[in-house]
Amino acid sequence: MPSKSSIADRALREIDQARDEMVGLAADLLRIPTVNPPGDAYRECAELLADRLRGYAYDTELLRPESDADARHPRWNVLAARRGAGAHPCVHLNGHLDVVPAGDGWTLDPFAGVVRDGLLYGRGSADMKAGLAAAVIAAEALRRAGASLAGTIEVSGTVDEESGGFAGVGWLAETGRISSARTDHVIIPEPLGVDRICVGHRGVYWSRVRSRGKIAHGSMPFLGSSAVDPLGRFLERLRTELRPALSRRRTDMPVVPAEARWASINVNAVAAGQALLTPQTPCVADAGEVILDRRFLIEEGFEAARREIVELAAAVAAENGGWKLEVEDMMVVHPTRTPAGDPLVLALEDAILEVVGHDAEIVASPGTYDHKHVTRIGGVVSCVAYGPGVLEQAHQPDEWCRIDDMIGSAKVMALAMLRLAVAG
Which parts of this chain interact with Zn ion (CB under 5 A)? 127-128, 190
CB of 406 to Zn ion, least distance (A): 15
From the list 115, 137, 126, the residue with the least C-alpha distance to 21 is: 137
State in angstroms the smallest separation of the CB of 188 from Zn ion: 8
- Which of 190/308 has CB closer to Zn ion? 190
Taking the least distance from each CB to Zn ion, the nearer of 171 and 234 is: 171
Under a CB-based contact definition with an 8 Å cutoff, are residues 363 and 261 in contact? no
Closer residue to Zn ion, CB minimum distance, 212 or 395? 395
Which of the following is catalytic: 14, 40, 98, 399? 98
- The yes-or-no answer on residue 161 being catalytic is yes
CB of 3 to Zn ion, least distance (A): 37
Nearest distance from C-beta of residue 371 to Zn ion, angstroms: 11
d(CA 221, CA 148): 79
Nearer to Zn ion (CB atom), residue 82 or residue 371: 371
Q: Give the whole-angstrom CA distance, residue 157 versus residue 79.
A: 7
Residue 257 preceded by cis peptide, ω within 30: yes
Of 124 and 378, CB closest to Zn ion: 124
Nearest alpha-carbon partner for 383 in 169, 225, 228, 206 = 169
CB of residue 254 to Zn ion, shortest distance in Å: 19
* Nearest to Zn ion of 335, 387 (CB atom): 387
Residue among 36 and 382 whose Cβ is closer to Zn ion: 36
Please confirm, yes or no, whether 44 is among the known catalytic residues. Answer: no
> Contact at 8 Å (CB) between 267 and 291?
yes
> Is residue 77 within 8 Å of 171, Cβ to Cβ?
yes
Cα 140 off chain centre by: 25
CB of 115 to Zn ion, least distance (A): 21
CB of 245 to Zn ion, least distance (A): 31
Q: Which residue is nearest to Zn ion (CB)?
A: 127
Which residue's CB is nearer to Zn ion, number 218 or number 366?
A: 366
Check 14, 40, 160, 161 and give the catalytic one: 161
| One-letter-per-residue 3-state SS of the chain | CCCHHHHHHHHHHHHHHCHHHHHHHHHHHHCCCCECCCCCCHHHHHHHHHHHHHHCCCEEEEECCCCCCCCCCCCCEEEEEEECCCCCCEEEEEEECCECCCCCCCCCCCCCCCEECCEEECCCHHHHHHHHHHHHHHHHHHHHCCCCECCEEEEEEECCHHHCCCCCHHHHHHCCCCCCCCCCEEEECCCCCCCEEEEEECEEEEEEEEEECECCECCCHHHCECCHHHHHHHHHHHHHHHHHHHCCCECCCCECCHHHHECEEEEEEEEECCCCCCCCCCECCCEEEEEEEEEECCCCCHHHHHHHHHHHHHHHHHCCCCCEEEEEEEEEECCEECCCCCHHHHHHHHHHHHHHCCCCEEEEECCCCCHHHHHHHCCCCCEEECCCCCHHHCCCCCCEEEHHHHHHHHHHHHHHHHHHHECC
Minimum distance from residue 34 beta carbon to Zn ion (Å): 12
Active-site positions read 98, 161
